[in-house]
Each structure stands twice: as structure tokens, then as C-alpha cells.
């Protein structure tokens, strides 16, 4: 028999029991759809994590006060900037507070109000979408100008267009809206777009005072120099923010990401968080999560393969007499073996194709807060595995069919 006749014979065998064939395909279908969709969920989760970490900046170092009674001051920020360390590009101090913001008869409570410098808009995701950021001159003069988030703009003014150039009040003081930020995603429960950003000196003068700052963000000159920048910053901060203990120890890793301190954890006065190390850790975790989901889904595909074996064994038993007649008419062992292997492969391939379609439809829906992102290689892989499963699990029933003696097969009821 030529290949076309083998395919035709296999197809007639499948069509002879449509319900049984459909149920066999269902097991493979579920397995293939699960593999593709769960890998897509894992990939989507990894993409979401990476987007959040990238928003923090992979060349960014964040300095925070650490230890009881320790503080980070404006003087420390100024001296770090004045030092002009070789691997450090920008030094951006920040203060933050929560205030009630009002405008046009509307008000929002507990809005995050950040005081910083113009460089703040070039080191992370807080980029200006319309209007402009405040200038160095406005920052030096503590001008009453702000850049606001999308949520703040719509809550107070109804639309972004109406907000630009308008006036809002923070604790009764009027500020002019110079710019609107690009919408940001948030990995926390708080709304990253509910924010007001103003010159550092203005917020210090009005709300926080001129001494302490909340954080100091430092960017390295490039991604390859982050470690060198961290080392330079550690040496300088050890001098500017000495340990409260009598004897300082060398830098040690903290338990939070890649946080480091210039002294032992019990007497540390500052903490440095390296975002690039956080990215590596999160990426590794996401990869492990994706692999685990794929392994779980592969189990269902294995179960579908076992179902193929069961159905094909039943098919061989039911068609024993047919096999005997074909052998008596000259069909070789190879022809019989090929027919049953092709039947199994066709069943699993059909189930795989339908499973791919269902997975593609399922990926258009958000699953548990995550938008699935299908991996391009997962589709041909799932289809290839489904056919391989059909051949592998169909090999034993096909072998049994091919090994039947014509006399024994013809005597079967």
C-alpha cells in the first residue's frame, strides 16, 4: 500500500467510531491547550514582573536610611552630588508626603506628593506625556508648579486636557499644573498615577522641612558600571553617614534583594538597593514558575497519551477479524503497523490542532490578573509532542495488531 492508501485506511478506522475518536482527541486537546496556556500565563507573569522592575531602572541604586534613629539628609545628597564619582551619573533626592489635593470643586484624599529635582523625570517611568516638567530655575526658586499623574488629572479636572495649565490646591496653597505624566503600571495596591510631583525645596518649605529626605536615587553611567557605582557610593556614605557603633564593619548584604549597608545590620545607618540584582532574582523566579506550570500541564498531556493507548487496544480487539482478512489478502506486517500508527497520530494531531485554537482564544482573556503571552515556540512544540505521543502510545497496540496470525485473526468472533 502507498502512503495515500494507508492514510485513507487510517481515516476510515477513525471515522468508524466517531464518538470514541472524539473522546480520545479530547484528552490530547486538553493537554495541548493546558501546556500552551499555562506557559503563556507564566510568560505573562514574567513579563509583568520584568516591566515593573524595569520601571525602577536597572542602572538605579536607591539609598534609604536604615536603623533606629538614622536619617538621610539634604546635606548628604548635596555632598554625594558634589563628589562627582566616576561611575555615577545622576543624584536625585526625594521627599514624600500624603496630602489632600483639590481643584475645580473636586478633591482627592491621601494623594502622594513628591518633592524632587528635574532629573527625576529622566531616571524612571515618571515621564511627562503632555506639557513639560519644571525646570532647574523653578526648582531653585521653589516655584509653585507641579506635574501630576493621569488619575489625579481626571479626578480633579475631568480630563488631562483640562488639567494642563490649570491651578490646584495642596493644603490650601495654589500650584500651577505644568505637565501630565504618562500612565504607569503598578505592582502594588496603590495607584501609581495618583501623584503630584513638585520642586524639592517647595515641598520641604511647605510640608517636610529642609533636613531629612525620604530616599536618594543614584543612577550609574551604564548597566555595566552599576557594581562599581555601588562600591563608590558605599565608600562615600561610610564617611558621610558613619556607623553608630564604635567599630564599623565591612559592607554586608541585606536580606531585602541586593540591599547593602556600610556597616553591620545591627548598626547600619543607610541601605543601598541595587535594582539590577532584583531584576535577576525576579527573572529567575519567573522562569522557575513558568517551568513548573509547563510541567504540570505536561502531566495532562501524558494522561491523554495513556487514553490513546487504551482506545487503540480496544480498536485492535474489535477489528481482529478485519486484520486477519487483510493479512490473508497479502497485507504485510509493516502495512498493518503503519495503519494503526497513522490512526493514533491523526487522532492526536487533530486534538492538538483544536487544543492550539482553544489556547489562543483563552490567551485573549486575563487570568488571575495576568495577561497571558503565548510563547512562539510552544505551539509547534505542543503539536509535535502530541503527534509523538500518538506514535509512542499507539506503538504497542499497533504492534499487537501487526503480530496477529491470519488464522487466529480469522477465527476471532
Question: How is the chain split into domains, by residue range?
Answer: 3-52+280-411, 90-212
Residue 225 CA to residue 85 CA, distance in Å, equals 12
Nearest to 87 by CA among 182, 179, 213, 221: 221
Q: Counting beta carbons within 10 angstroms of the beta carbon of residue 98, is it exposed (0 to 12), middle (13 to 18) or buried (19 or more)? A: exposed
pLDDT at 196: 95
pLDDT of 373 over the 60 cut: yes
- Smallest CA-to-CA distance from 393 within 297, 315, 318 is with 315
Max avg pLDDT among 20-24, 56-60, 161-165: 161-165
Instruction: Name residue, grid cell 495577561.
Output: 371
0.75 exceeded by pTM: no
CA–CA separation, 401 and 388 (whole Å): 19
Q: What is the pLDDT of residue 338?
A: 79
Question: Tens digits of per-residue pLDDT, 86-131?
Answer: 889 999 999 999 999 999 889 988 899 999 999 999 887 788 989 9
Q: Is 19 helix (H, G, I), strand (E, B) or coil?
A: helix
Q: Which three cell numbers stand for residue 53?
A: 522592575
Which pLDDT value is given to residue 255? Answer: 36
Residue 100's Cβ-side half-sphere holds a number of Cα atoms within 13 Å equal to 7
Can you tell me the distance from the alpha carbon of 76 to that of 189, in angstroms, rounded to the nearest whole number?
32
| Rounded CA separation 194/152 (Å) | 5
* Confidence at 286, pLDDT banded by 50, 70, 90: low
Q: CA Rg, the chain, in Å?
A: 33
3-state helix, strand, coil in the chain (%, to 5): 55, 20, 25
pLDDT band at 54 (very low <50, low <70, confident <90, very high): low
Which residues share a beta bridge with 167?
Answer: 176
Q: Which of 151-155, 282-286, 327-331, 373-377 has the lowest mean pLDDT?
A: 282-286
Q: How far apart are CA 282 and CA 249, in angstroms?
A: 29
Kindly tell me the burial class for residue 330, based on how many C-beta atoms sit within 10 Å of its own C-beta (0-12, 13-18, 19 or more).
exposed
pLDDT at 148 over 90: yes
Question: Which pLDDT score, from 0 to 100, does residue 178 have?
Answer: 94
The pLDDT assigned to 278 comes to 61
Q: How far, in Å, CA of 348 to CA of 71, rounded?
A: 65
Record the cell numbers describing residue 391, joined without a space.
Answer: 506514535
| Lowest pLDDT segment from 94-103, 178-187, 285-294, 389-398 | 285-294
Closest among 247, 274, 279 to 263, alpha carbons compared: 247
Chain mean pLDDT for the chain: 79
Amino acid at each position: 500500500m502507498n502512503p495515500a492508501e494507508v492514510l485513507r485506511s487510517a481515516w476510515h478506522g477513525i471515522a468508524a467510531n466517531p464518538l470514541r475518536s472524539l473522546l480520545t482527541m479530547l484528552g490530547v486537546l486538553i493537554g495541548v491547550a493546558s501546556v500552551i496556556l499555562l506557559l503563556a500565563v507564566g510568560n505573562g507573569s514574567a513579563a509583568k514582573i520584568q516591566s515593573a522592575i524595569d520601571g525602577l531602572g536597572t542602572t538605579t541604586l536607591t539609598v534609604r536610611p536604615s536603623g533606629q534613629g538614622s536619617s538621610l539628609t539634604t546635606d548628604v545628597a548635596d555632598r554625594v552630588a558634589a563628589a562627582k564619582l566616576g561611575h555615577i551619573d545622576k543624584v536625585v533626592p526625594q521627599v514624600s508626603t500624603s496630602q489632600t489635593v483639590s481643584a475645580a470643586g473636586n478633591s482627592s484624599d491621601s494623594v502622594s506628593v513628591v518633592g524632587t529635582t528635574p532629573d527625576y523625570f529622566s531616571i524612571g517611568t515618571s515621564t511627562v506625556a503632555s506639557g513639560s516638567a519644571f525646570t532647574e530655575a523653578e526648582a531653585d526658586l521653589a516655584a509653585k508648579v507641579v506635574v501630576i499623574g493621569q488619575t489625579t488629572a481626571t479626578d480633579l479636572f475631568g480630563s488631562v486636557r483640562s488639567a494642563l495649565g490649570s491651578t490646584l490646591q495642596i493644603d490650601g496653597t495654589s500650584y500651577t499644573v505644568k505637565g501630565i505624566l504618562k500612565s504607569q503600571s503598578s505592582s502594588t495596591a496603590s495607584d501609581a498615577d495618583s501623584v503630584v510631583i513638585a520642586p524639592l525645596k517647595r515641598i520641604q518649605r511647605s510640608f517636610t522641612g529642609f533636613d531629612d529626605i525620604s530616599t536618594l536615587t543614584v543612577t550609574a553611567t551604564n548597566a555595566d558600571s552599576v557594581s562599581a557605582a555601588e562600591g563608590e557610593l558605599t565608600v562615600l556614605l561610610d564617611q558621610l553617614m558613619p556607623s553608630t557603633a564604635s567599630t564599623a564593619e565591612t559592607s554586608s548584604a541585606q536580606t531585602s534583594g541586593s540591599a547593602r549597608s556600610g556597616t553591620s545590620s545591627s548598626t547600619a545607618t543607610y541601605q543601598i538597593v541595587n535594582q539590577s540584582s532584583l531584576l535577576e532574582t525576579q527573572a529567575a523566579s519567573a522562569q522557575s514558575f513558568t517551568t513548573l506550570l509547563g510541567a504540570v500541564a505536561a502531566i495532562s498531556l501524558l494522561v491523554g497519551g495513556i487514553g490513546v493507548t487504551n482506545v487503540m487496544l480496544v480498536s485492535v480487539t474489535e477489528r481482529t477479524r478485519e486484520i486477519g482478512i487483510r493479512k490473508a489478502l497479502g497485507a504485510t506486517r509493516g502495512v498493518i503497523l503503519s495503519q494503526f500508527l497513522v490512526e493514533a497520530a491523526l487522532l492526536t494531531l487533530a486534538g492538538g490542532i483544536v487544543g492550539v485554537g482553544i489556547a489562543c482564544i483563552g490567551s485573549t482573556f486575563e487570568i488571575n490578573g495576568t495577561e497571558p503571552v503565548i510563547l512562539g515556540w510552544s505551539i509547534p512544540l505542543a503539536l509535535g509532542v502530541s503527534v509523538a505521543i500518538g506514535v509512542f502510545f499507539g506503538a504497542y497496540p499497533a504492534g499487537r495488531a501487526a503480530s496477529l496470525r491470519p488464522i487466529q485473526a480469522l477465527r476471532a468472533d
